[in-house]
Amino acid sequence: MTAPFTSPLAASLAEDLLARFDRYVRIDTQSARGRTESPSTPGQLDLSRLLVDELLALGPTDAALDGNGYVTATLAASGGGDPGVVVGLVSHVDTSPDAPGAGVVPLVHRAYDGGVITLPKGGTVLDPRAEPHLASRAGHDVVTSSGDTLLGADDKAGVAEIMTAIAHLAARPELPRPTLRICFTPDEEVGLGASLFDVEAFGAQCAYTMDGSSLGEIQDETFSAKEATITVTGVDVHPGFATGILVNAARVAAKIVAALPDDLTPETTSGRDGFIHVYETSGEAATATVRAILRDFDDDRLDGHVALLRQTAEDVVAQTPGASVTIEVADQYPNMRAHLEPFPEVTEHAIAAIRAEGLEPLREPIRGGTDGSVLSARGLPTPNIFTGGHAYHSCREWASLQDMAAAAAVIVHLAAEWAAER
């Protein structure tokens, strides 16, 4: 039996939402680390151009793609909403480089039976015993990839939800809404989604990223984030003449990774615990590189993780005469909490919109970040709202159509909440 939607509004939005989502996820928009231009990959522009065309067809006459790959548009106030109240809706078009992203073929498992889902490619299995959110979605229409790619729900679910809500509102000018500003950003997955965002030109007093996960989430706190690059230099020589001369940088780098605490990794932490996550190692005997991200909700603890990583690398290298190490640490995004606290009404309106959809708001910190982290720090208060996607950055990624439709409905309610603002 198919699970019911959260409201008649959500049910009415579902099929348009699914069609948009299906269309968007088939476009390869994986971003790339080490960006030399914006966006980092040309596929992001393919989706962005499509979105501009669709927005123009819906009504916003100013929809445009700028030179850095940002899509912006305006839906004018209507239904008694104050044109001077300007609220932003933001999602990112790129998908993660952490799993294959080309050739996505979405599959819809109608009225999911609650059991194991075996996908046709890649040997990928979605087991509700390992995916607790999936276990609770029996009866839902579950969307997955075919198993050899990620799905792209992060964040094309958010993109599709915004587009669906805008289509619904644009076709119904009698519904109350403020001035809505839309922005679709590139390169969020590599930490650069808000780096070239023109906050002043956007002109909103606040915004919301549609980039969360579980039904009902409203998030106003994220990790603070840094990225570290450790470069080990050794001494290379022909291995046949290496005795007493060779200093193998690749082996030294491996020792650094092995020396990091086992209880300070993403897979061994939860809740408000931070971590050090080594996501890439590469190198040869002469030079090797370790790249890691560091996360915590507390800035002092985050600085402690940096100090630990630095000390570990230096201690290992000190035990290897002839090796040397450089460590570069860069800020990625801040915890948005302190930047949102002066504007409680922004989160309160989102909570009211979620309740208007008949849901109980879930206020949990994000063990990650969004464009809203940087935007909030730059003066545009931007909390995060759920999208209905799960198991992001993997070939096991999935989304519930019922939950995605609820998120689109929440956007419609959010417009009504802000239309009442005076």
13 with 110, same domain: the answer is yes
57 with 131, same domain: the answer is yes
Domain housing 24: 8-222+335-419
310 with 373, same domain: the answer is no
- For 350, 411, 412, the CA distances from 345, given in Å and listed in that order, are 9, 16, 17
Length of the chain: 422
Q: What confidence score (pLDDT) does residue 1 get?
A: 79
Q: What confidence score (pLDDT) does residue 406 get?
A: 98
Strands 206-210, 287-296: pairing kind = unpaired
The distance of Cα 214 from the centroid of its chain, to the nearest Å, equals 13
In a domain, 68, yes or no: yes
Tell me whether residue 298 is one of the annotated catalytic residues: no
320 with 356, same domain: the answer is no
Domain of 379, CATH number, reads: 3.40.630.10
Measured on CA atoms in the order 197, 367, 215, 48, is the torsion positive or negative? positive
Q: What confidence score (pLDDT) does residue 49 get?
A: 98
Tell me which of 131, 155, 188, 227 is the catalytic residue: 188
172 with 310, same domain: the answer is no
Tell me which of 94, 161, 357, 371 is the catalytic residue: 94
287 with 358, same domain: the answer is no
In a domain, 3, yes or no: no
In a domain, 255, yes or no: yes
169 with 20, same domain: the answer is yes
In a domain, 43, yes or no: yes
324 with 357, same domain: the answer is no
**Angle (CA) 6 209 292, round 5°:** 120
Coil/strand/helix, residue 408:
helix
State the Cα torsion 146-150-155-161 to the nearest 10°: 10
In a domain, 1, yes or no: no
Q: What confidence score (pLDDT) does residue 323 get?
A: 97
35 with 143, same domain: the answer is yes
In a domain, 209, yes or no: yes
Tell me whether residue 161 is one of the annotated catalytic residues: no
- Entry pTM: 0.90
Q: How many domains does the chain have?
A: 2
Q: What confidence score (pLDDT) does residue 263 get?
A: 97
Coil/strand/helix, residue 305:
helix
Instruction: Give the whole-angstrom CA distance, residue 321 versus residue 122.
Output: 45
Q: What confidence score (pLDDT) does residue 422 get?
A: 60
Q: Note the pLDDT tens digit of each residue in 192-241.
A: 899 999 999 999 999 999 999 999 999 999 999 999 999 999 999 999 99
144 with 290, same domain: the answer is no
165 with 22, same domain: the answer is yes
Q: Single out the residue in 333, 354, 381 at which a domain terminates.
A: 333
Domain of 312, CATH number, reads: 3.30.70.360
Answer yes or no: are the C-beta atoms of 332 and 369 closer than 8 Å: yes
Q: Single out the residue in 308, 333, 358 at which a domain terminates.
A: 333
**Angle (CA) 366 417 356, round 5°:** 70
**Residue ranges in the chain modelled with pLDDT below 70:** 422
Q: Single out the residue in 333, 360, 380 at which a domain terminates.
A: 333
274 with 396, same domain: the answer is no
